[in-house]
């Protein structure tokens, strides 16, 4: 697991109040919505805001590929890596 994946897992747990989960409970390729982790659209909004705050990345909720970016920890890590603001 990469450092970024671990950071995203912690962000998911903290931003969404999933205290009963640990990073090890979330597989990097596990779907975040529906049958996977079970997140919903409200969770997606909260997670999007947390990502924006933490990584300085705005995710356009109306973009057609937004769902693809939020599909799993792996896809979020790829999106963040490609769009992260250079600090």
**CATH number of the domain encompassing residue 12:** 1.10.1200.10
Which pair of tokens denotes residue 15? 């931003």
State pTM to two decimals: 0.87
pLDDT in tens, 12-32: 999 999 999 999 999 999 999
Q: Which parts of the chain have pLDDT scores under 70?
A: 61, 85-87
Domain limits at 57?
3-83
Q: Total structural domains in the chain?
A: 1
Q: What is the dihedral sign for C-alpha 13, 69, 50, 35?
A: negative
Q: Is 22 helix (H, G, I), strand (E, B) or coil?
A: coil
């Amino acid at each position: 697991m990469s450092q970024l994946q671990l950071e995203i897992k912690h962000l998911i747990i903290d931003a969404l109040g999933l205290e009963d989960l640990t990073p090890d409970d979330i597989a990097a390729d596990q779907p975040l919505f529906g049958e996977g982790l079970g997140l919903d659209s409200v969770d997606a909004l909260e997670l999007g805001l947390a990502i924006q705050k933490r990584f300085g990345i705005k995710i356009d909720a109306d973009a057609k590929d937004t769902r693809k970016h939020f599909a799993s920890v792996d896809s979020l890590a790829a999106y963040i890596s490609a769009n992260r603001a250079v600090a």
